[in-house]
């Protein structure tokens, strides 16, 4: 299986070198551009410097990636564009952006949450593939059919990552309709999060929000929820990540798997784990968001998962209220780093 990798600007060239070394395993690198809202906020990474310096550095690195033969995917996947959502000036800006990037880079596709942006790109840049963002939460054939005119592929709703019956159903429809199916493999988001849309809207408007005298800070419901020890026990059940060892099971159904690496502290480790198909360490360190801090001094040792974990959770009845399988896995893989201390998780 090939992978879609999220661009992250870092202080060293280690990630850039890893992308080139693994280029035969990478379908595309996805990235945001400038101040256009996207699903992860504006580019900042671990770098210092002015916005212009960072933009120039990003362009240099994306050109380097292009020259290595890796395609690029532009993210126009903000959850909200406010008053600009249908504005002519906004689409002029998008058009100029795509035209410029297409002249500089090996731009192959665009991922968006907006059906209007999709239609605009399809009409004006027909050579580019258009994909429906995972943030659109498309998990039915009806949902794909409604927007089939303007999208060439879909990211499956992440909550179905462990549902083989649903995957087979969506794949069958995509094959019959000439569409491609993708997935997000390493999300640390909670399934069916009640405030996911609210959080994505905040991210889309973060520049405006940062300029205000704010009364509260909101990092996401999951961070506070998982600080409660009694809630941590349901982490396996309430998440949808796919282990590196299990990603091969998805190859028959998906064109490529997206790896969230735009904010991960060690994107090279994520890339290496999924391409090699194995990882020894705290599985939470592979995820975005990473909840390792909330669990400390406990970790969830990835190598302690049973070999048949994926087969069990992909084929189970999803009757979580009457099943303790995932709870048992949690108890099996957790390790206390404070050896000798009697701390209950």
Average pLDDT over residues 13-41: 93
Closest CA to 107 of 128, 90, 126: 128
Tens of pLDDT along 278-332? 999 999 999 999 999 999 999 999 999 999 999 999 999 999 999 999 999 999 9
pLDDT digits (tens, 9 = 90+) for 240-280: 999 999 999 999 999 999 999 999 999 999 999 999 999 99
Helix (H, G, I), strand (E, B) or coil at 33: coil
Count the Cβ atoms, other than its own, within 10 Å of residue 315.
12
* pLDDT band with cut points at 50, 70 and 90 for residue 23: very high
What pLDDT does residue 46 have? Answer: 45
Stated as kind and residue range, the H or E segment containing 202 is helix 196-204
Residue 183 confidence (pLDDT): 98
**pLDDT above 50 (res 45):** no
Beta strands in the chain (DSSP E): 2-6, 26-31, 71-76, 107-112, 129-132, 153-155, 180-184, 256-259, 298-300, 334-336
For 62, the enclosing helix (H) or strand (E) is helix 51-67
Provide the pLDDT confidence category of residue 44 given band limits of 50, 70 and 90. Answer: very low
How high is the mean pLDDT of the chain? 94
Largest Cα separation within the chain, whole Å, is 64
SS3 167: helix
Q: Cis bond leading into 188, ω under 30°?
A: no
Average pLDDT on 136-158 reads 98
What pLDDT score does 341 carry? 53
Q: Count CB atoms within 10 A of the CB of residue 141.
A: 16
- Tell me what pLDDT residue 49 has: 64
Two tokens at 266? Answer: 């060690």
| Mode of pairing for the β-strands spanning 334-336 and 298-300 | antiparallel
Contacts (Cβ under 8 Å, ≥6 apart) of 173: 141, 144, 145, 179
Q: What is the pLDDT of residue 38?
A: 87
* Residue 12 pLDDT > 80: yes
Pair 309, 246: CB distance under 8 Å: yes
The alpha carbon of residue 291 and the mean position of all alpha carbons in its chain are separated, in whole angstroms, by 15
pLDDT digits (tens, 9 = 90+) for 94-107: 999 999 999 999 99
The reported pLDDT for the residue numbered 219 is: 86
Cα 112 versus chain centre, distance? 13
Query: For the segment 112-131, what is each residue's pLDDT rounded down to a tens digit?
Result: 999 999 999 999 999 999 99
Q: Distance (Å, rounded) from C-alpha 240 to C-alpha 313?
A: 10
Question: CA 105, 108, 113 angle in degrees (round to 5)?
Answer: 115
Residue pair 180/160 in contact (Cβ under 8 Å)? The answer is: no
pTM: 0.94
Q: What is the pLDDT of residues 183-237, one digit of tens each?
A: 999 999 999 999 999 999 999 999 899 999 999 999 889 999 999 999 999 999 9
| pLDDT of res. 50 | 81
Split at pLDDT 50, 70, 90, the class of 41 is: low
Given 3-state DSSP classes, what are the helix, strand and coil percentages for the chain, each rounded to the nearest 5?
Answer: 45, 15, 40
E strands along 64-106, which residues? Answer: 71-76
Answer yes or no: are the C-beta atoms of 225 and 190 closer than 8 Å. Answer: yes
Let me know: does 182 contact 153? Beta carbons within 8 Å: yes
CB 131 within 8 A of CB 109: yes
The CATH superfamily holding the domain 2-336 is Phosphoenolpyruvate-binding domains (3.20.20.60)
Instruction: Supply the Cα-derived Rg of the chain in whole angstroms.
Output: 20
């Amino acid at each position: 299986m090939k992978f879609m990798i999220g661009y992250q600007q870092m202080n060293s060239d280690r990630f850039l070198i890893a992308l080139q070394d693994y280029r035969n395993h990478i379908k595309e690198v996805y990235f945001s551009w400038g101040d256009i809202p996207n699903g992860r906020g504006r580019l900042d990474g671990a770098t210092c410097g002015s916005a212009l310096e960072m933009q120039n550095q990003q362009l240099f690195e994306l050109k380097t990636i292009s020259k290595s033969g890796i395609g690029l995917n532009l993210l126009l996947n903000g959850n909200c564009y406010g008053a600009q959502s249908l504005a002519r000036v906004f689409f002029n800006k998008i058009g100029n952006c795509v035209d410029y990037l297409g002249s500089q880079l090996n731009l192959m596709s665009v991922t968006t949450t907006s059906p209007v942006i999709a239609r605009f790109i399809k009409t004006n840049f027909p050579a580019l593939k258009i994909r429906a963002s995972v943030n659109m939460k498309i998990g039915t054939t009806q949902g794909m059919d409604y927007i089939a005119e303007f999208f060439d592929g879909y990211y499956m709703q992440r909550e179905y990552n462990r549902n083989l019956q649903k995957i087979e159903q969506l794949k069958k429809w995509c094959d019959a309709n000439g569409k491609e199916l993708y997935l997000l493999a390493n999300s640390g988001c909670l399934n069916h999060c009640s405030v996911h849309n609210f959080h994505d809207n905040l991210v889309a408007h973060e520049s405006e929000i940062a300029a205000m005298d704010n009364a509260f800070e909101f990092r996401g419901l999951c961070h506070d929820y998982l600080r409660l020890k009694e809630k941590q026990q349901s982490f396996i059940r309430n998440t949808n990540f796919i282990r590196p060892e299990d990603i091969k099971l998805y190859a028959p159904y998906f064109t490529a798997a997206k790896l969230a690496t735009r904010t991960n502290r060690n994107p090279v480790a994520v890339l290496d784990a999924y391409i090699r198909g194995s990882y020894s360490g705290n599985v939470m360190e592979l995820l975005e968001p990473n909840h390792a801090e909330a669990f400390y001094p406990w970790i969830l040792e990835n190598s302690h998962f049973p070999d048949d974990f994926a087969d069990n959770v992909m084929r189970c009845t999803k009757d979580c209220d009457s099943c303790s399988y995932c709870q048992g896995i949690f108890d099996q893989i957790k390790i206390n780093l404070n050896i000798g201390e009697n701390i209950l998780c």
